[in-house]
Structure 1
Amino acid sequence: MIARKIVAVPLLLGAFALAACGSGSTDDPGTGPTDQPSAIAASAQDINAQDRSTLAQGGEMKLAVSDLGTNWNPLEIDGNNNELTGIRNTFLPNYFNFDAKGAYTPNPDFLTSAEVTTQKPTVIHLVLNPKAVWGDGSPIDVDDLTATWKACNGEQKTFKCASTDGFDQIKSITSGSDKFDVTVTFKDAFPDWASPLSGPLKAESVKDAKTFNEGWATLDNDWLSGPFKVDKEDRTQKTIDVIPNDKWWGDKPLLDKITWRTVATDATPNAFVNGEIDAFDIGPDPNGYQQAKGVADATVRQAAGPNWRHITFNSKAGVLKDEKVRQALVKGLDRASIGESDLAGIDFPISQLNNGIILSNQQGYEDEGKATGIDYNPDQAKSDLDTLGWVAGSDGIREKDGKKLEVKFSALDGVPASQNEALQTQNQLNAIGVKVDIVNVPAADFNTTLSGHSFELIAFTWIGTQFPYANINQLYGTGSESNYQQLSLPDVDKLTAQIKVETDPAQRTVLANQTAQLLWKSVGIVPLYQRPELIATKSKLANYGAFGLSSPVWTNVGFQK
Structure 2
Amino acid sequence: MRRVVARRGAARRRAGAAVKAAAAAVAVVAVAGCTNAPPPPLVTTEIARTETSRVVDPGEVVVGVGSVDGGLNPHKLSDQSTLTTSLAQVLLPSVFRTGPDGVRRLDRTVMVSAEVTTAEPYVVTYRVRQEAAWSDSAPIAAEDFVYLWEQLRESPGSVDGAGYRLIENISAREGGKVVEVTFAQPYPGWRSLFSDLLPAHLLKDSPGGWGGALADGYPASGGPYSLRQLDRDRGEVVLERNDRYWTEPVALDRIVLRRTDAAGLVGALRTGHTQLGLLPVDAEGEALVDGLGAEVVTTPVPGSTVATVLLRPVSEAMRQSAVRRAVVAVLDRAELVEVGTGGGPAGQLLADALITPPSAPGYRATRPSDVPVKPDPALARQLLTSAGYTEESGMWERAGTPLNLTIAAGREDYTDLAAEVQRQLSVAGIQSRVLTPADPYDPDQETVDLLVGPLPAGGDLAVALAGRFGCAGEAEAGATPTPTTSSTPPGDTPEPVAANPLGYCDKGVDESVKAALTGATPAAEVLASVEPRLWQAALVYPLYQESSQLVVHRSVTGVAAGPPLAGPFALADEWKRQS
Q: TM-score, normalised by structure 1?
A: 0.74
Q: How does 1:398-547 map to 2 (within 5 A)?
A: 398-410=396-408, 415=413, 419=416, 422-423=419-420, 426-427=423-424, 429=425, 433-435=428-430, 437=432, 439=434, 445=436, 447-451=438-442, 455-478=448-471, 483-502=500-519, 507-547=522-562
CA contact (8 A) 2:189 2:517 kept: yes
- Determine helix, strand or coil for the equivalent of 2:452: strand
Q: 1:175 to 1:236 in 2, by over 3 A?
A: same
Residue of structure 2 equivalent to 1:202: 199
| Deviation, structure 1 residue 170 | 1.9
Question: Aligned pair 1:354/2:372, yes or no?
Answer: no
Q: 1:127 to 1:67 in 2, by over 3 A?
A: same
| Deviation, structure 1 residue 548 | 5.2
Q: Distance in 1 between matches of 2:341 and 2:73?
A: 33
Which of 265, 274, 288 aligns to 1:272? It is 265
Q: 1:119 to 1:289 in 2, by over 3 A?
A: farther
| Residue type of the alignment partner of 2:100 | A
Question: Aligned pair 1:558/2:576, yes or no?
Answer: yes
CA contact (8 A) 1:60 1:259 kept: yes
Q: 1:219 to 1:254 in 2, by over 3 A?
A: same
| Residue type of the alignment partner of 1:390 | Y
Residue of structure 2 equivalent to 1:24: none
| Residue type of the alignment partner of 1:494 | E
- Determine helix, strand or coil for the equivalent of 1:553: helix
Residue of structure 1 equivalent to 2:89: 89
Question: Aligned pair 1:170/2:167, yes or no?
Answer: yes
Q: Distance in 2 between matches of 1:463 and 1:288?
A: 25
Work out which structure has the larger RCO, using CA pairs closer than 8 Å and 6 or more positions apart in sequence.
1
| Deviation, structure 1 residue 438 | 6.1
CA contact (8 A) 2:68 2:236 kept: no
| Deviation, structure 1 residue 500 | 0.7
- Determine helix, strand or coil for the equivalent of 1:369: coil
5+ residue gaps, structure 1:
1-55
| Deviation, structure 1 residue 320 | 2.7
Q: 1:326 to 1:128 in 2, by over 3 A?
A: same
CA contact (8 A) 2:308 2:542 kept: yes
| Deviation, structure 1 residue 108 | 1.6
Residue of structure 2 equivalent to 1:31: none
| Residue type of the alignment partner of 2:515 | Q
Residue of structure 2 equivalent to 1:392: 391
**Cα distance per residue 1:186-207 (max 9 Å; x no partner):** 2222121022222432331343
Residue of structure 1 equivalent to 2:133: 133
Q: Distance in 2 between matches of 1:235 and 1:532?
A: 23
Q: Distance in 2 between matches of 1:160 and 1:413?
A: 13
Q: Distance in 2 between matches of 1:359 and 1:168?
A: 25
| Deviation, structure 1 residue 532 | 3.9
**Cα distance per residue 1:164-215 (max 9 Å; x no partner):** 3221222333345564333333222212102222243233134358544446
Residue of structure 1 equivalent to 2:29: none
| Deviation, structure 1 residue 301 | 0.8
Residue of structure 1 equivalent to 2:187: 190
CA contact (8 A) 1:410 1:422 kept: no
Q: How does 1:47-62 map to 2 (within 5 A)?
A: 58-62=59-63
- Determine helix, strand or coil for the equivalent of 2:171: strand
- Determine helix, strand or coil for the equivalent of 1:320: coil
- Determine helix, strand or coil for the equivalent of 1:164: coil
Q: Distance in 1 between matches of 2:76 and 2:546?
A: 25
Q: 1:426 to 1:280 in 2, by over 3 A?
A: farther
Which of 280, 283, 306 aligns to 1:286? It is 283
| Deviation, structure 1 residue 245 | 1.0
| Residue type of the alignment partner of 1:525 | V
Q: 1:194 to 1:282 in 2, by over 3 A?
A: same
CA contact (8 A) 2:125 2:181 kept: yes
| Residue type of the alignment partner of 2:577 | F
Q: Distance in 1 between matches of 2:215 and 2:342?
A: 39
Residue of structure 1 equivalent to 2:224: 227
Q: Distance in 2 between matches of 1:438 and 1:212?
A: 29
Question: Aligned pair 1:329/2:327, yes or no?
Answer: yes
Q: 1:436 to 1:256 in 2, by over 3 A?
A: farther
CA contact (8 A) 1:123 1:184 kept: yes
CA contact (8 A) 1:62 1:258 kept: yes
Q: How does 1:243-254 map to 2 (within 5 A)?
A: 243-254=240-251
CA contact (8 A) 1:408 1:438 kept: yes
Q: Distance in 1 between matches of 2:335 and 2:215?
A: 41
Q: 1:425 to 1:80 in 2, by over 3 A?
A: closer
| Deviation, structure 1 residue 422 | 4.1
Q: TM-score, normalised by structure 2?
A: 0.72
Q: 1:362 to 1:374 in 2, by over 3 A?
A: farther
5+ residue gaps, structure 2:
1-56, 473-496
Q: Distance in 1 between matches of 2:279 and 2:73?
A: 26
- Determine helix, strand or coil for the equivalent of 1:300: strand
CA contact (8 A) 1:99 1:550 kept: no
**Cα distance per residue 1:57-110 (max 9 Å; x no partner):** 5123234362443x5444456555552232233222122232222112212210
CA contact (8 A) 1:76 1:212 kept: no
- Determine helix, strand or coil for the equivalent of 1:153: helix
- Determine helix, strand or coil for the equivalent of 2:327: helix
Q: Whose Rg is larger?
A: 2
Q: 1:298 to 1:418 in 2, by over 3 A?
A: farther
Residue of structure 2 equivalent to 1:3: none
| Deviation, structure 1 residue 244 | 0.7
Q: Distance in 2 between matches of 1:425 and 1:213?
A: 29
CA contact (8 A) 2:96 2:192 kept: no
| Deviation, structure 1 residue 425 | 6.6
| Residue type of the alignment partner of 1:248 | Y
Q: Distance in 1 between matches of 2:266 and 2:557?
A: 19
Q: Distance in 2 between matches of 1:405 and 1:284?
A: 36
| Residue type of the alignment partner of 2:296 | A
**Cα distance per residue 1:213-232 (max 9 Å; x no partner):** 446455464x4221111223
Residue of structure 1 equivalent to 2:368: 369
Residue of structure 2 equivalent to 1:21: none
- Determine helix, strand or coil for the equivalent of 1:498: helix
Q: Distance in 1 between matches of 2:406 and 2:221?
A: 41
Q: Which region of structure 1 is more displaced relative to structure 2, 273-282 or 495-504? A: 273-282
- Determine helix, strand or coil for the equivalent of 1:173: strand
Q: 1:116 to 1:226 in 2, by over 3 A?
A: same
